[in-house]
Chain A
Amino acid sequence: MSTVKTLFEKVSKYVDSPRNRHLASLWKPQLVTARDHWRGTPKLEKVAVTVEPENPLWAKIIGFNIKDFYTDPDTYLKNTLKINLYRFLEFQDDTPLSKIIPIWLGAGFEHSFFGLDPVFLPGRSPWIPKTPIITKEQDLDSLNYPDFYRSGLMPRAHEFFERISRLVHDSDFTVTFPEWARGPFGLSGAIRGWENLLKDMITAPDFVHRLMKFFNGSRIRWARERARFLGSKIEKANLYNDEVNVPLLSPLRYEKFVLPYEKEICDFFGGLLYWHSCGNISPLLELIREIPTIDMLHVGPWTDLPSVINVFRGTPLEICLNPLSDVMLATEPEMRSRIEYIINTCKGNPFTIRADGIHPAKSVKHDVAQIKRWLRVAREVVDKQSANKESLTVK
């Protein structure tokens, strides 16, 4: 307890620091969500750069057992605070510190509601198992909407929320209950099996629609339960959609099988805070644009940046890098060249540059040094561009 108390005090001290106030000023405030370490949406005036190692790397840097992190609320809280402090003090990226503790139980949280229990490999974050639940179309009929208290990881979600809420009780920290972020296509693929789903789109299109409807129905019902439980309103949602990419989906199939359900989610929640896919979405951009409200679009390293700017001009963008070739294996000139390209391509648009998806590559010492190197180079390039403000804002 005393460690957590000390960590609360440390975070509180830095939250109120001039540097943190400056960092917070780089972002437009956004609704608080329970996914990762949210910052807000980027502003036009300044390019914020952030780093987000994956938890297997954090586990090595901070020194915790990753399975304990995802299964024990005390370990989760303590190390979430340590991660945030480390990022603020050591990496010194543009992520502001906050007094919000988001609870995120890892990839596979939503899948667990339907009987796919996350797999833990040594030193890895939990992942989605490969055994499909729906092996034949009729299996869908026996699948139920998730129970907000009992299905899959929900008992753990409640346990984490209750325990961490108790631990922060005497402080001005707040805890965010886990949210449902995974899109219906990703869930359909995992529960049905990817190869089956890809074939179903040709051989059984009605069944694919039934699947998508089922997962959207499940999410909407779950969101209502969550709002009732927390005594809050239904608010804008995140849509994590790594599986939406080309060549997994053709534009035609995205339009037919996925887009209507993403629009439905957008309608129900009153908009999307964030639309995310790490994959190549270049051929889908015009279609994604049809979703009425996207507060921020994630742009992965395989998506064509000029096309994004062309289609999504004015929408805040989170530009992510290839963790290997742009960051962990990159030389300084390669890092610089990539960041300059992003800045030159995105000028006139609000955007942030993020180095994420970073897993342990070599030694902790090496990995930390490489991340710091990338941040230094990124900062140099951004500062140089900021000195000529016009280069960031010119149309």
Chain B
Amino acid sequence: MLETDQTLLVELKDSIVAFDAARVREAVRKGVDTGIVPPSILSEMAKGMELVGKKFEDGEYFLSELIMAAEAMKEGMAIIEPYLKSEKVTKSARAVIGTVKGDLHDIGKNIVASLLRSSGFEVFDLGTDVSSAKFIRKIRETEADILAMSALLTTTIVEMGKVIKDLKNAKRRHLVKTIVGGAPIDEKFAKQIGADASTNDAIKGVQICKLWAENRK
């Protein structure tokens, strides 16, 4: 790789960390124009997002930075996606996400959806107040690898257990990894309802999903 290419990739990573969408767009375009292979561009942006996640975990970045960085990544992805398609890269993992029935809280869910997208997942965000039937339908339709459910209210948390049970009845449970999130949720609860993982931290949730996606390959 040429030194100028290396400089450009560093710039790309830094501009993601600086959540500067304009710089990301410019660096991606330059990268494509100078012939850097699209997977390398994508990989560098992903490294930038990993650094953003690290800064979030360290308490240096907060939700504003996470959202801005995810959006900058999204803009870079929009430019590079047509080239990635022609490169025949591995099919990205698919995640169905939503806030369960009876609950309208969605700040955390939206952030996880956004971070999953910027991590290369194909995300199907069903919004809030999502019934079990709707989750199952979407999982069937998209052949999703991951189901991510969010809830804040104690009542609606119980709804998560119902979705997992319905998933089992629909004979899809073994095909889908499930992660549940929301402030009052802990591992004990996740285990009780049969979820594969729980989180109340967007970055950790995405890390778990990435691990699952890697193991799927």
Chain A residues packing against B (C-beta within 8 Å): 54, 56-57, 119, 121-124, 127-130, 194-195, 198-199, 201-203, 246-250, 253, 278-279, 283, 301-302, 322-325, 328-329, 357-362
Q: Is the CB of B155 within 8 A of A248?
A: no
Residues A130 and B106 in contact in the complex (CB < 8 Å), given A247-B56, A329-B188? yes
B154 contacts A194, C-beta separation under 8 Å: no
Report the 4 A-B pairs with minimum CB-CB distance, sorted nearest first: A359-B155, A359-B154, A250-B62, A198-B64
B185 CB-CB contact with A under 8 Å? yes
- Indicate if the CB atoms of B104 and A119 lie closer than 8 Å: yes
Q: How far is the CA of A202 from the CA of B62 in the complex (A)?
A: 11
Q: Is B124 an interface residue (CB 8 A)?
A: no
Q: Which of A122, A279, A283, A325 contacts B189 (CB 8 A)?
A: A325
* Residue contact A121 to B129, C-beta cutoff 8 Å: yes
Closest to B185 in A: A324
Docked-complex contact A323 and B154, CB < 8 angstroms: yes
Assess whether B184 is in contact with A323, with CB atoms less than 8 Å apart: yes
Q: Cβ of B81 < 8 Å from any Cβ of A?
A: no
Nearest chain B CB to A392 CB, angstrom units? 29
Residues of A within 8 Å of B104, CB to CB, are 119, 121, 127-130
Q: Which residues of the partner chain B approach A203 to less than 8 Å between Cβ atoms?
A: 68
Asked if B184 contacts A324 (CB within 8 A), the reply is yes
Q: Is the interface of B mostly helix, strand, loop or mixed?
A: helix
CA–CA, A35 and B28, complex, Å: 53
Q: Which residues of A contact B186 (CB under 8 A)?
A: 324-325
Q: A329 near B64 (CB under 8 angstroms)?
A: no
Give A201 to B157 CA distance when docked, in angstroms.
Answer: 31
Q: Which of B92-111 contact A (CB under 8 A)?
A: 102, 104, 106-107, 110
Q: Which of B104, B107, B156, B183 has the most CB of A within 10 A?
A: B183
20 more contacts with CB within 8 A, not counting A361-B154, A361-B158, A362-B158, are A57-B155, A122-B102, A124-B153, A128-B104, A194-B110, A195-B67, A198-B63, A199-B67, A199-B71, A202-B19, A202-B68, A203-B68, A248-B62, A248-B63, A324-B154, A324-B184, A328-B154, A329-B189, A359-B156, A360-B158
Pick 7 A–B contacts, CB within 8 A, sort by A.
Answer: A129-B104, A203-B68, A248-B62, A322-B184, A324-B157, A329-B188, A357-B184
Residue on A nearest B107 in the bound complex, by CB: A194
Distance in angstroms between the alpha carbons of A78 and B157 in the assembled complex: 30
- Tell me if B192 counts as interface (CB < 8 A to partner A): yes
Q: Which of B62, B104, B192 has the most CB of A within 10 A?
A: B62
Q: Closest CB of chain A to B19's CB: distance in Å?
A: 8
Q: In the complex, A123→B103 CA distance in Å?
A: 11
**Does chain A have a CB within 8 A of B166?**
no
State A129–B129 Cα separation when bound (angstroms): 12
Beta-carbon contacts under 8 Å, B162-204 to A: 183-186, 188-189, 192
Chain B positions 24-61 with a Cβ under 8 Å from a chain A Cβ: 56, 59
Q: Which residues of B contact A129 (CB under 8 A)?
A: 104
B143 contacts chain A at the CB level, 8 A cutoff: no
Taking A198-B67, A248-B107, A329-B192 as contacts, is the C-beta distance between A361 and B155 under 8 angstroms? yes
B75 within 8 A of A: no
Residue on A nearest B155 in the bound complex, by CB? A359
